[in-house]
């Protein structure tokens, strides 16, 4: 049995667009998602969990259930409705009030500057493919660092790889482009440059607190021991994991990373531009990250594949419908005997352990790690206010054990943020994929603690995983 450290953070994670609702209130500017979701007509980002109005209640619940950290993101368009230019004081006040509430209840806030919600005005000009938008992001970051002096933990971006691939490979995020590897590679690189610029700005100005980035790191394993499958897993890993860790902690792309990148780019007819000055900026930032945030839910077994790209995203919870075969990389398969969720996410906690140990070995100056997201999407059953989510508790247990084991083996993990604090809106799945410790009745906005909330409270009190 594992015992987690006394000073460990037992947090809950949220993101502005998925929790706040109120997308047209308080002077907020538009994001690309507003129009995208409206056109798609499947589900609306309003009211989500109405965190914009309910946050005092959510933070009260944190205190009551031993959740001593909360991960939130600032909606860029509540601060700068157009992305640049005039400041919206109502938005600034909202976040000051939110942070004050956290302080009042002794909940540490971990604040992300960008969680999938670029202002529409900038998004329409190419999002992070347009270098002018990097300047806009850095200006927004500078404003926040200066204004929100009460924040101690910052992260620049949430999940750069899913931004690039959901926007330009799967097309599940606006602008719904499919299989454009020039855009994928350029977006990954440009966002890493923007991250590095924000880190340098933060450190050059000696702002108080810590800064890092949140990466989605899903471990890749070869489907079999054959050299072809091993190579496919290597390519999948190189683009989704190694590229970003190199950028973050080396400030350049290692030879191995570049070999993989060139192979993927050639197979997909992609071109990209990395400037010398980018590497100067990245290099400078590479030793200045105070921590790494890791979002980890699942891993992938990868098989060699030499056909055209074919993808089906399971956004409905119909188990077994996912297809992921990518030209020049490989095919992700279901491994016999492994459990997976209704959305086909493999439950394989070894993936968590392996990624943690690998970071310690490959990037020894990583400083420390927070697991900034982990959790299980589930079709919770609500019976008279009681939600018995044993499957979620089982999931959390095995993943926390993997973290406990990694800590025992010397990895410096300082906290865990369960995705999600309360049920909220899921970008491509809407409202039936619930993750929360607290069940949200989206009509009344009433919160109900699930069995997992009581389990998490005990964990936070005893630090013992059982």
Footprint of ligand BGP (CB under 6 A)? 15, 18, 158-159, 162, 216, 295, 373, 377, 419, 426-429, 433
Name, in order, each residue with C-beta under 8 angstroms of 460's C-beta and a sequence gap of 6 or more: 10, 65, 66, 67, 68
Residue closer to ligand BGP (CB basis): 240 or 429: 429
Provide the residue count of the chain.
466
Minimum distance, C-beta of residue 298 to ligand BGP, in the bound complex (Å):
10
CA–CA separation, 92 and 79 (whole Å): 6
CA 102 – CA 92 distance, rounded (Å): 16
| Cβ proximity to ligand BGP, 71 vs 279, nearer residue | 71
Q: Could you tell me the CA-to-CA distances from 435 to 80, 301, 438 in Å, in that order? A: 30, 24, 9
The distance of closest approach from Cβ of residue 426 to ligand BGP in the complex, given in angstroms and rounded to an integer, is: 3
The DSSP H or E segment spanning 416 is strand 413-419
Minimal distance in Å, beta carbon 427 to ligand BGP? 6
Taking residue 8's Cβ as centre, other Cβ atoms within 10 Å add up to 21
CB neighbours of residue 89 within 10 Å? 10
159/210 with CB nearer ligand BGP: 159
Which of 351, 377 has the CB closer to ligand BGP?
377
DSSP 8-state class, residue 31: B
Q: How near is the Cβ of 155 to ligand BGP at its closest, in Å?
A: 11
**Per-residue tokens: 383:** 């019976």
Verify whether residue 57 is a known catalytic residue: no
Residue reference for tokens 């482009």: 177
Least Å distance, CB 236 to ligand BGP, is 17
Between CA 175 and CA 167 the distance in angstroms is 6
Q: Which helix (H) or strand (E) holds 222?
A: strand 220-222
In the bound complex, what is the minimum distance in angstroms from residue 343's beta carbon to ligand BGP? 6
Burial class of residue 336 (count of CB atoms within 10 Å of its CB; 0-12, 13-18, 19+): exposed
8 Å CB contact between 11 and 69:
yes
Q: Closer to ligand BGP at the Cβ: 245 or 281?
A: 245
What's the min distance (Å) between Cβ of 115 and ligand BGP? 6
Catalytic residue among 373, 390, 401, 443: 373
**31: which strand partners?**
119
Note whether 45 and 15 are within 8 A (CB): no
175/430 with CB nearer ligand BGP: 430
- Strand order from edge to edge, sheet including 323-326: 220-222, 300-303, 330-333, 323-326, 310-312
Considering the complex, state which of residue 159 and residue 229 has its C-beta at the smaller distance from ligand BGP.
159
Q: How far is the CB of 464 from ligand BGP (least distance, A)?
A: 27
Contact 66, 105 (CB under 8 A): no
Q: Which secondary structure element, helix H or strand E, spans residue 418, and what is its range? A: strand 413-419
Cβ atoms 326, 302 nearer than 8 A: no
Backbone φ and ψ of 460, nearest 5°: -65, -35
The rounded distance, in Å, linking the Cα atoms of 257 and 246 is: 8
Q: Which residue is nearest to ligand BGP (CB)?
A: 426
Between 27 and 315, name the residue whose CB sits nearer to ligand BGP.
315
Active-site residue set: 373
């Amino acid at each position: 049995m594992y015992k987690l450290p006394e000073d460990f953070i037992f947090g809950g994670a949220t993101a502005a667009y998925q929790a706040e609702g109120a997308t047209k209130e308080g002077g907020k500017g538009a994001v690309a998602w507003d129009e995208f979701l409206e056109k798609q007509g499947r589900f609306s980002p309003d009211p989500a969990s109405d965190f914009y109005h309910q946050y005092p209640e959510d933070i009260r619940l944190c205190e009551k259930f031993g959740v001593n950290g909360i991960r939130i993101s600032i909606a860029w368009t509540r601060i700068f409705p157009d992305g640049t230019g005039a400041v919206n004081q109502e938005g600034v006040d909202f976040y000051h009030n939110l942070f004050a509430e956290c302080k009042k209840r002794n909940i540490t806030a971990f604040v992300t500057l960008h969680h999938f919600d670029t202002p529409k005005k900038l998004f329409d000009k190419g999002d992070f493919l347009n270098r002018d938008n990097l300047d806009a992001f850095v200006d927004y970051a500078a404003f926040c660092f200066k204004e929100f002096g009460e924040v101690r933990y910052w992260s620049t971006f949430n999940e750069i790889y899913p931004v690039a691939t959901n926007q330009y490979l799967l097309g599940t995020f606006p602008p719904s482009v499919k299989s454009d590897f020039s855009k994928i590679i350029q977006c990954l690189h440009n966002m890493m440059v923007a991250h590095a610029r924000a880190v340098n700005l933060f450190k050059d100005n000696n702002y108080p607190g810590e800064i890092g980035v949140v990466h989605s790191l899903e471990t890749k394993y070869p489907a079999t021991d054959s050299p072809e499958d091993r190579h496919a897993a290597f390519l999948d890993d190189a683009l989704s994991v190694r590229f970003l860790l190199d950028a973050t902690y080396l400030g350049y792309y290692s030879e191995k990373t570049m070999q993989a990148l060139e192979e993927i780019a050639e197979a997909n007819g992609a071109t990209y531009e990395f400037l010398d000055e980018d590497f100067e900026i990245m290099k400078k930032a590479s030793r200045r990250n105070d921590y790494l945030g890791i979002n980890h839910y699942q891993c992938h077994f990868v098989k060699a594949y030499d056909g055209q790209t074919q993808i089906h995203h399971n956004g409905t919870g119909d188990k077994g419908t996912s297809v992921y075969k990518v030209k020049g990389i490989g095919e992700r398969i279901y491994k016999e005997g492994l459990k997976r969720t209704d959305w086909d996410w493999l439950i394989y906690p070894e993936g968590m352990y392996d990624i943690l140990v690998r970071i310690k070995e490959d990037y020894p100056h990583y400083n420390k790690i927070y697991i900034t997201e982990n959790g299980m999407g589930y079709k919770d059953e609500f019976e008279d206010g009681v939600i018995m989510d044993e499957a979620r508790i089982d999931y959390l247990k095995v993943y926390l054990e993997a973290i406990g084991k990694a800590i025992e083996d010397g990895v410096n993990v300082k906290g865990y943020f369960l995705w999600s604090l309360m049920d909220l809106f899921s970008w491509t799945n809407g409202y039936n994929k619930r993750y929360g410790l607290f069940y949200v009745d989206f009509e009344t906005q009433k919160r109900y603690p699930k069995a997992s909330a009581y389990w998490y409270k005990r964990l936070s009190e005893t630090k013992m995983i059982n």
